[in-house]
Chain A
């Protein structure tokens, strides 16, 4: 287009030249005169550029951008602060959004995931869970009778030892129904899935996960048809699952460990018949097209009563009954984490608001300092739109730069997330910056940029120069409007900072309350190890017990070990849950008669620092011979024998009926309640038996790993970590092929369970501090600019004899006035907001006085600090210099 224009003008000039020559003017003169007659070609070009609707708009924008860039380079301080502020706000937002995205929004990776439903049994005894896993006979009944689902499939986590090529390693695996992959709608990447006929005991086929296939077998497709050794038995590999496939999904409930190997469920005849047993199978189903989950639920209610009918009369007479429930898979996975995450998102949103307010404030101050420039431009004919464009260009550059920095920043944050956090979040592995996140960031950036452009717009006078040019300190209506807007912005940042600080304070207090909770045991200086004995090599009860004894002996003899013991589950975990009957206790107790049950071997209570409050711990002889003894926790004693001494009382497993074949066990001791879930959860009723009483026939015959989980606890004199090599060596001595799952201190295990709460407290604190800094910057900025604006006024005052101290106080007073408004509003909002998060707090009242008292003090202190420098500068203004200048 430029070329065209040039050609046009050239043609015109040429014509003029010709005409002149024809009129008799000399050649050289003709050229000059022609050109002169035309006038400034450049000016013509400029004007012409403006008239073109599309291209010129862009080129003037480019002009503005270049000019803006130059201006920003001259004002590096301003540009730097704004960009960093934006980067911080956008970075935090993007990082959190990525997390939320990965957890809640990202598709599950299954075909039509909205039709997938998790099914649960509802048992009165398991009231503390949202729903219980299935027992095999109940699952099979349901699978046979149900009509609402295309198919339902069961799965259960198990731990297997993978040996053969390379180091033996313990993996999370899952036993799955043959139709599981089909139900989820996923095809293997290589090979095939399970055939229906393969879903029976004795079929040793396996599917590998993509990750395992890559790391251990080098991604070699010839693995198909070869065998791998699981729990010392050969399994034929029939397929490899795709990389994105993860099942079971990570989550808070049971059966939540993504498997590296899938093998057929293969219920044994015994499992099929044993009613009321093994409530530990997850069940997922796919709704038939057109069926709603409510319709399915209605059918489940009907089927539940039918399944109940299949229970032996003894159970029904005891008041035992099951219900069935269904929850959409997406909800089940994300459910328990949703609220804290949304809370996090809200906090992040607040930080972004503070960021925006701050930057708007900074920009406004910039506008104020450029009033003269704006006035001049207006006088020279710049339209209002051009002025806005100019400012927009500047804020656009800042926003883009801030957005880019922010994206980088968020990458850093996500990369720095500790493993303890990502482990508890489903789909954590997939957390990365993706297009949606980028879009969100861009959206936020653009919105921020527009917000800034709009805010200064409110303060630009209607293109009328004059007053602004003459006297900058004149209180024009626009000027005081701007001041009010800026003051309002600062107040709002204080408000937001208050809310975030209060929130952080509450969560930090909650977390420290959690950490100081008495879990009922002493976690200091205890080293733990997790082992699962494979069936191969430990096929009989005798072998298992021999292992127990060997390990106990060796561990106790380790130098630096004060005592050692074994158990099926350490504190903060639970193992088995059983029905029990307490002697002499009326069945109609209104309390479901079930208890957690652990087996221990050796001086367990002493090793773990668990207090024995009545009676005694297990004796050595009880460790070796089954003596029908049991130790209970205080809760159990209180529940079944309130007000009495539980020692000497008897209980037995199973329902309280004459046909119950289980022997009566005598309570020989009562211990203090020990947390059997994450720290902070209510300890459940808990009983302990010596491992000698674990039934031989289970170890001999039942194919699952039940009873083969061994947790070692060693109380040490000095740092427990020093004993790690010794423990490893001891285990290697006993069985070189044995894979050890983990050797960590009890403190580390504890820290793991509180990791999510720690994270909340930490991040909120981070946000709070960030917003506090931002608020301080905002206040500082505002006051600094105010002082700069009023230099002449201050100089006059000083010249007229005012004390510098008064000026100081005036500025600080201005700052404090703003802060106090912010405190009042902030307190009100924080008060209301605290109620919303009350349920997430542990033991801390949502209107905790300590928090609500400390926060204002901190805010005032920080803001006073922010005021000091500008105030000092103000009082130091030299009257002569100020009066002479602008």
Chain B
């Protein structure tokens, strides 16, 4: 799956990306909305350091997994909205699969004798 997930520091980074992709699967959002959504969907368990959010978003945008455009938000402010691209969608599917497999394996190990 690439070299990202191999380094421990980057595992978290990879997870964050996965979360972002999942968040955007339900529709366009801007950065703040993404952070709130993850917080909400994880039942307050996951709180993203906001400083880490934007670099991740931009990384994904650079790699072509996200597309972004500026628009006016609900409260009449200018905000940058992100959405999944086709390759983003594919990446989401692949990463979700491998994540599921990895977590299953870890669970098995933890559950073993």
Contacts and interface: CB of A to CB of B under 8 A. Distances in A.
A44 B51 contact: yes
B78 A11 contact: yes
A9 interface: yes
Interface stretch (A33-41, A637-645, A676-684): A33-41
A53 B50 contact: no
Interface string B37-60: 000000000000111101100110
A437 B79 CA distance: 53
A14 interface: yes
Given A39-B49, A51-B62, A52-B62, A14 B77 contact: yes
A52 B58 contact: yes
Contact of B58 (A7, A37, A41, A51): A51
Contacts of A41: 51
B55 A48 contact: yes
B61 to A, nearest CB: 9
Contacts of A48: 54-55, 58
Interface residues of A, number: 23
6 contacts: A8-B79, A11-B32, A11-B73, A39-B52, A43-B51, A44-B51
Nearest to A39: B51
A37 B55 contact: no
B91 to A, nearest CB: 16
Contacts of B93: none
A15 interface: yes
A462 interface: no
Interface of A: 4-5, 7-9, 11-12, 14-16, 18, 37-41, 43-44, 47-48, 51-53
B65 to A, nearest CB: 12
Interface residues of B, number: 20
A51 B59 contact: yes
B51 A11 contact: no
Contact of A12 (B31, B52, B59): B31
A584 to B, nearest CB: 100
Contact of B54 (A8, A15, A18, A53): A8
A122 B84 CA distance: 84
Interface of B: 30-32, 35, 49-52, 54-55, 58-59, 62, 70, 73, 75, 77-80
A47 B50 CA distance: 13
Nearest to A50: B55
A16 B32 contact: yes
Given A8-B31, A15-B32, A39-B49, A44 B77 contact: no
Contacts of B77: 11, 14
Classify the interface of chain B: helix, strand, loop or mixed: helix
A14 B30 CA distance: 13
B58 A9 contact: no
B40 to A, nearest CB: 13
Contacts of A9: 54
Given A12-B31, A48-B58, A51-B58, A7 B78 contact: yes
A151 B50 CA distance: 84
A38 B51 contact: yes
A15 B73 CA distance: 11
A11 B58 contact: no
Contacts of B55: 44, 47-48, 51
Contacts of A39: 49-52
Given A11-B79, A52-B62, A53-B62, A44 B54 contact: yes
Contacts of A16: 32, 50
- Most central of B31, B54, B75, B79 by chain A CB within 10 Å: B54
A492 B70 CA distance: 61
A51 B62 CA distance: 7
User: Closest 3 A-B residue pairs measured CB to CB?
Assistant: A39-B51, A15-B32, A47-B55
Contacts of B49: 39
Contacts of A4: 70, 80
B112 to A, nearest CB: 35
Contacts of A8: 31, 54, 79-80
B9 to A, nearest CB: 9
B23 to A, nearest CB: 15
A871 to B, nearest CB: 49
Given A11-B32, A39-B51, 7 more contacts: A8-B31, A11-B30, A12-B32, A12-B54, A16-B50, A38-B50, A43-B51
A728 B3 CA distance: 90
A193 B55 CA distance: 74
Contacts of A47: 55
Contacts of B59: 51
Nearest to A37: B50
Contacts of A37: 50
A52 B62 CA distance: 6
Nearest to B50: A38
Contacts of A51: 55, 58-59, 62
A53 B58 CA distance: 11
Contacts of B80: 4, 7-8, 11
A634 B70 CA distance: 100
A48 B58 CA distance: 7
A8 B58 CA distance: 11
A48 B59 CA distance: 8
A18 B80 CA distance: 18
B68 to A, nearest CB: 10
A372 to B, nearest CB: 24
Nearest to A7: B78
A12 B50 contact: yes
A52 B51 CA distance: 17
A15 B74 CA distance: 11
